[in-house]
Amino acid sequence: MTMGTFVQELAALRESLVSMGDIVLKMVRLAGEALLAGDVEKAREVIKSDADVNARENQIVDRAIRLIATNQPVAGDLRFLAASLRLATELERIGDLGANLARRTLGLAELASEGAVLGQTPPDLARMVHEAMVMLDLALQAFNERDAVKAEAVLGMDDVIDDFNRHIRRLILGLVYDNGRLASWGLEIINTSVHLERLGDHATNLAEEVIYVAKGQNVRHNY
């Protein structure tokens, strides 16, 4: 592979990651909207799109491995290709979490249709959806723009979403303790909160990869 071709392939790989990022961002946004509005159709749409994200992960990983094997990259190229393998996996897991959020919407709708006792959706859940979206959007912007400063801003945001998760968990456990018939509903809400908390973790992981590519600093597991 000539250097010109290699540079084009790297650019194409970056575009594939950007495109995959756009797709999972849209999945999470739709999943959040479906959750908050109880929109079952929208939730099903999100679940359907997960297969495409899985296929994209495989394509990106194959492409990155081929470029590593055939070009023996070093320095910034090597960091980008090594990070691409992890970024593709992170994005695929974000897609999974989008689909899982959508499944919680379907679960809550099913409980409602069965006439189960439901509690009131905690307001903090909507704020968690918002925080997760902001983190994910900023992490993807940081990647698209190769902006380590934006990525560093993402790292400081994860605590907020973790606090929301702890708060919701305590709230729901208290409600279920008082009223055992809320258990199924409470489980769906707690799982939803955990999915959102995990989204925050994956947005953090994306940001850490952006910093590694930009600066060569490994900041993983520091946050």
Partner 1 sequence: MVAQSGPIGEALGAAGAAAGPSRDAREGLALAGLAVGGAEADAAGEAKASAANGPKGQAPGGLDGPLAAEGAAFEGPIIEAVDVDFYYGAFHALKGVSLAVKAHEVTALIGPSGCGKSTFLKLLNRMNDFVPGARLSGEIKVAGRSIYGPDSDPVSIRRLVGMVFQRPNPFPKSIYDNICYGPRLTGARKKADLDVLVEKALRAAALWDDVKDKLAKSALELSGGQQQRVCIARALALSPEILLMDEPTSALDPIATAKVEEWIKGANLSIVIVTHNMQQAARVSDHTAFFYMGELVEFGPTMEIFTRPRELRTENYITGRFG
Question: Per-residue x/- mask for partner 1, residues 149 to 188, rule CB under 8 A?
Answer: ----------------------------------------
Residue 57 contacts residue 90 (beta carbons within 8 Å) = no
Query: Closest distance between partner 1 and the C-beta of residue 71, in Å?
Result: 9
Q: Which residues contact 122 (CB under 8 A, 6 or more apart)?
A: 168, 171, 172, 189
Place of tokens 């968690």: 128
Task: Determine the number of helices (DSSP H) and then strands (DSSP E) in the chain.
Answer: 7, 0
Q: Residue type for 201, please?
A: D
In terms of phi and psi (left: phi > 0; alpha: psi -120 to 50; beta: otherwise), the region of 147 is beta
> Does residue 38 bind partner 1 (CB under 8 A)?
no
Query: Closest distance between partner 1 and the C-beta of residue 217, in Å?
Result: 8
* Residue number with CB closer to partner 1 (74 or 180): 74
Question: Per-residue x/- mask for partner 1, residues 48 to 87, rule CB under 8 A?
Answer: ------------------------xxxxxxxx--------
* Residue number with CB closer to partner 1 (80 or 164): 80
Helix, strand, coil percentages (3-state) for the chain, rounded to 5, are 85, 0, 15
Place of tokens 């520091």: 222
Query: Closest distance between partner 1 and the C-beta of residue 87, in Å?
Result: 18
Gap between the terminal Cα atoms of the chain? 39
Query: Closest distance between partner 1 and the C-beta of residue 64, in Å?
Result: 16
- The dihedrals phi and psi of 135, each to the nearest 5 degrees, come to -65, -45
Query: Closest distance between partner 1 and the C-beta of residue 44, in Å?
Result: 45
Residue 93 has which token pair?
A: 């897991």
Contacting range for partner 1; rule: CB under 8 A; set: 3-11, 18-26, 127-135, 143-151: 3-11
Interface with partner 1 in residues 181-220 (CB under 8 A) = 215-216
* Residue number with CB closer to partner 1 (132 or 211): 211
What are the C-alpha distances in Å from 82 to residues 99, 169, 186? 27, 36, 40
Number of residues that bind partner 1 (CB under 8 A): 13
> Does residue 7 bind partner 1 (CB under 8 A)?
yes
Binding site for partner 1 (CB under 8 A): 3, 6-7, 72-79, 215-216
